[in-house]
Chains A and B, each alone.
Chain A
């Protein structure tokens, strides 16, 4: 897909809404989906004479995210004004942190295609969100409920060289936000968005190519497609012998293309320190204490699952994306006596399916019972299929694994002599099938095993039956 003459250089600016109770500079409710303009006050409407009050929790969440991304935490930071005019910006300036943000440089290590890739973080800062524009046929409406919702902005270094890296990063950022419980990171509600910086250069070039910025990307798949589109567009321009223009473009998801953006050019934000804020000064002991609250993060778990438990990378990634499932899985592994790989398969497979259906949650089952179930399967006491029945019962009843196996008669028949009898009866009843097998149609073996399973009311050990039948027929 990518012309091998070129390499892509990507940087991401990711914005996540924080799940605080109140907004960042006023005490209005921070809630999605409220009736229009009901979570507003003079401060977030930018009324004359109004002044901001910084929300402590927004600062705390930003520091937590900074720790998760291995950032330097600046004990002294300040708020700046970015001045520009747009109807979704009530004061016609956005309060942000340009010169001295809460978090400085950091990094995140991603596991991509079997290797570890380090992505640098340039800074992480707090800022306010804008109001929402609702476009109608002949007018635009403004809802200020979202104005002043707290945002963190994570500015990456231009370290991405492939779409896989971008995808892994975005999945990880979303997962970390969930792990730390500081943002609901719901794309469909707009609580996580990104701007993408794209440039390309010839492989081996000493300088980066001209960079363009793509704004308004509200889904992860949109980000990937926008990058693909832009890279192709840049290559086409360069191959024509022309130069890429530095500009800001917006991603049109419906059309699948980027369009030059009006109204946000120039980008001279006339930045200066906001005089309505005093400096933010943090105690080192407070910052250090917050670090102790960081759980083991998704990317670290992926590395562990792949290297220690031999779980395939893509499955390890999916497992790590949900803290509750990942924690559950790890508890199971700790109990022991069941292989991690099997446990992972069950958590990612049937357990996830049941939970995703919405009627049950992980708290309806216990790690102990899952481990016991898997142990029973691995020792051959019950079949894999029987395991599914056990699982259903574990969710819907209070019974133990042992009780379920007994009540439902799921114990696998492993007794050789009993199985030999069943095999003999089935073979006697299916002479034509035997002929088919002997004439080369070896796949009828499955049918014969199935008939034995039926005769044993599902309790026969399919592996043993398979080997028995094969043994008899091959002789």
Chain B
């Protein structure tokens, strides 16, 4: 029986789904996230409630984690696992409790590339309940894993020579092209502004009225709102919410939100340019490159300490490249 550990921001019907927050400490959703339904149908044993922060591990063969700020990829890296942040729109977000809807995708995590490919095959697909999912024919991603990367142009965002990446375990790549995104230095800021703005809006529904935590100091409506949210959210969350409100406000949005939206479009265009010259790009998992897949919607896989990015809906290519690295790393029995 395949076991899968699910992060505690993915809804499982009738089970506590808390997002590690006081605000949802007693919340039991009356519905499953679509991905949970799909896993059950594919005979996975689903275990919910994993916080998947820096200190946790997964006591299962597979895992699912949200990835709006590279969390899944970072978690995988910390645990010597492999994670895929899928193309935006390829996995249903129905039942994913996210603060940042345009940046997040549920990410399959596994011990091997094959496991991740198998898990992705189960969870990907159009979902009626999530109208941002794209309808298309998704292939069986396990089929062509060992095809290798012959003839694939690999771009590299690393400054140092390729033999120094991955501790020398990088397979020799015939064609590598150095890739630069002129606006990369702004990626992290662009990401933060959009994330905080969406967080302000997506977390506004936590008001102590319909579900979740309600403050005991709630004699008036104003107290109900303000005390519930002051007590139910942690400091960082509150800071992000308030910052998000500032970024969207009438007097300030021209400096923050509106600029960030244009910055996002610019980064998308620059990445498109990069993909005109290369088929996949290997990048470090630093603050800037980690958010590029979230900002652009492109898929990215974290394997062996680096990140590989490909154009939208090119997961097949990503798996082949990741598999090549996996084999070169000495895990050819995976």
Q: Write out, one digit per residue, whether chain B residues 321-332 have a CB within 8 A of any chain A CB (1) or not (0).
A: 000000000000
Q: Write out, one digit per residue, whether chain B residues 204-248 have a CB within 8 A of any chain A CB (1) or not (0).
A: 110101110000000001000100000000000000000001001
Which of these, A52, A91, A140, A144, contacts B205 with CB under 8 Å? A91
Asked if B201 and A81 sit within 8 Å, CB to CB, the answer is: yes
Asked if B209 and A278 sit within 8 Å, CB to CB, the answer is: no
Asked if B94 and A49 sit within 8 Å, CB to CB, the answer is: yes
Q: Which of A165-173, A213-221, A267-275, A421-429 contacts B (4 or more CB under 8 A)?
A: A267-275
Asked if A83 and B201 sit within 8 Å, CB to CB, the answer is: yes
Q: With A and B bound together, what is the CA distance between A320 and B197 in angstroms?
A: 49
Q: With A and B bound together, what is the CA distance between A208 and B113 in angstroms?
A: 67
A42 at the interface (CB under 8 A from B): yes
Asked if B201 and A93 sit within 8 Å, CB to CB, the answer is: yes
A54 at the interface (CB under 8 A from B): yes
Asked if A45 and B210 sit within 8 Å, CB to CB, the answer is: yes
B120 at the interface (CB under 8 A from A): no
Asked if B27 and A270 sit within 8 Å, CB to CB, the answer is: no
Asked if B207 and A92 sit within 8 Å, CB to CB, the answer is: yes
Asked if A270 and B205 sit within 8 Å, CB to CB, the answer is: no
A366 at the interface (CB under 8 A from B): no
> Which residues on B sit within 8 Å (CB–CB) of A45?
210-211
Residue of A nearest to B95 (CB): A49
Asked if A268 and B211 sit within 8 Å, CB to CB, the answer is: no
Asked if A49 and B97 sit within 8 Å, CB to CB, the answer is: yes
Interface magnitude class on chain A: 20 to 34
Interface magnitude class on chain B: 35 or more
Which of these, B204, B211, B221, B225, contacts A47 with CB under 8 Å? B211
Q: Which of B126-134, B139-147, B157-165, B174-182 contacts A (4 or more CB under 8 A)?
A: B126-134
A90 at the interface (CB under 8 A from B): yes
Asked if A83 and B94 sit within 8 Å, CB to CB, the answer is: no
Q: With A and B bound together, what is the CA distance between A46 and B27 in angstroms?
A: 13
Q: With A and B bound together, what is the CA distance between A49 and B33 in angstroms?
A: 8
Asked if B94 and A54 sit within 8 Å, CB to CB, the answer is: no
Q: With A and B bound together, what is the CA distance between A400 and B24 in angstroms?
A: 73
Asked if B204 and A87 sit within 8 Å, CB to CB, the answer is: no
> Which residues on B sit within 8 Å (CB–CB) of A46?
205, 210
Q: A49-B95, A51-B93, A93-B201 are in contact. Are A42 and B131 (CB under 8 A)?
A: no
Q: A42-B30, A270-B249 are in contact. Are A53 and B129 (CB under 8 A)?
A: yes
Asked if B132 and A276 sit within 8 Å, CB to CB, the answer is: yes
Asked if A48 and B204 sit within 8 Å, CB to CB, the answer is: no
Which of these, A42, A52, A272, A277, contacts B29 with CB under 8 Å? A42
Q: With A and B bound together, what is the CA distance between A271 and B197 in angstroms?
A: 10
Q: With A and B bound together, what is the CA distance between A87 and B94 in angstroms?
A: 24
B317 at the interface (CB under 8 A from A): no
Interface centre among A49, A92, A272 (most CB of B within 10 A): A49
> Which residues on B sit within 8 Å (CB–CB) of A229?
none
A50 at the interface (CB under 8 A from B): yes
Asked if B96 and A49 sit within 8 Å, CB to CB, the answer is: yes
Asked if B131 and A54 sit within 8 Å, CB to CB, the answer is: yes
Which of these, B27, B131, B207, contacts A276 with CB under 8 Å? B131
> Which residues on A sit within 8 Å (CB–CB) of B205?
46, 48, 90-92
Q: Separation in Å of the A84 CB from the closest CB of chain B?
A: 9
Of residues 254 through 277 on chain A, the ones whose CB sits less than 8 Å from some CB of chain B are: 268, 270-272, 275-277
> Which residues on B sit within 8 Å (CB–CB) of A36?
none
> Which residues on B sit within 8 Å (CB–CB) of A277?
131-132
> Which residues on A sit within 8 Å (CB–CB) of B221?
87, 140
Q: With A and B bound together, what is the CA distance between A71 and B96 in angstroms?
A: 39
Q: With A and B bound together, what is the CA distance between A161 and B245 in angstroms?
A: 39
Q: With A and B bound together, what is the CA distance between A52 and B129 in angstroms?
A: 7
Residue of A nearest to B204 (CB): A92
Q: Write out, one digit per residue, whether chain B residues 12-30 have a CB within 8 A of any chain A CB (1) or not (0).
A: 0000010100001001011
Asked if A278 and B257 sit within 8 Å, CB to CB, the answer is: no
Residue of A nearest to B258 (CB): A272
Chain B residues packing against A (C-beta within 8 Å): 10-11, 17, 19, 24, 27, 29-31, 33, 93-98, 101-102, 128-132, 197-198, 200-201, 204-205, 207, 209-211, 221, 225, 245, 248-250, 257
Q: Which 5 A-B pairs have the closest CB atoms?
A: A92-B204, A275-B102, A270-B248, A48-B97, A275-B101
Given contacts A87-B221, A268-B249, 10 further A-B contacts (CB under 8 A): A47-B210, A48-B11, A49-B98, A51-B93, A51-B131, A52-B131, A53-B129, A268-B250, A275-B102, A275-B198
